[in-house]
Amino acid sequence: MHLTAPATGRTDTRPRTRDADGMAVASFILGLLGLLVLNLFLGPIAIVLALVALWRGTTRRGRAYLGLALGLADLAVLVATMEISGTVSWSL
């Protein structure tokens, strides 16, 4: 929801930025969690959330980039463990 200031006519983007900040944090947490369990599902979700957060202009760019890197690491770990064990998923 965008609020319009009466005198200037400009829109307030704080709610959108706050949502993007939440997505950046969520991508980091899901990417980190995906290294341990359900990396097949959590990795792509972390990647998408990080990209959307960056596209929306998050103020937590570092957290979004970490979420993106962890999401990619989730998929790399999945591929490596699939090659080693011949299974589709893994967990500790």
Residue 87: band (very low, low, confident or very high) from pLDDT cuts 50, 70, 90: confident
pLDDT tens readout for residues 9-61: 555 556 667 888 899 999 999 999 999 888 889 999 999 999 999 999 888 89
State which residues form the domain around 78: 37-86
Distance CA 71, CA 51 (A): 11
Residue with tokens 């097949």: 40
Amino acid at 5: A
User: What's the total number of domains in the chain?
Assistant: 1
pTM of the model: 0.75
The whole-number pLDDT of residue 86 equals 76
* String of DSSP letters for 30-80: HHHHHTTS-HHHHHHHHHHHHHHHHHTT-S-HHHHHHHHHHHHHHHHHHHH
pLDDT tens readout for residues 13-22: 566 678 888 9
Q: CB-based contacts of 13: which residues, under 8 Å, 6+ apart?
A: 2, 57
Question: Do the domain assignments include residue 8?
Answer: no
Question: Do the domain assignments include residue 78?
Answer: yes
Residue 81 has pLDDT above 80, yes or no: yes
pLDDT tens readout for residues 61-70: 999 999 999 9
Question: Do the domain assignments include residue 19?
Answer: no
Residue 88's alpha-carbon distances to 3, 31, 80, 92, in angstroms, are: 47, 18, 10, 14
Residue 15's alpha-carbon distances to 2, 12, 41, 44, 55, in angstroms, are: 7, 8, 28, 25, 15
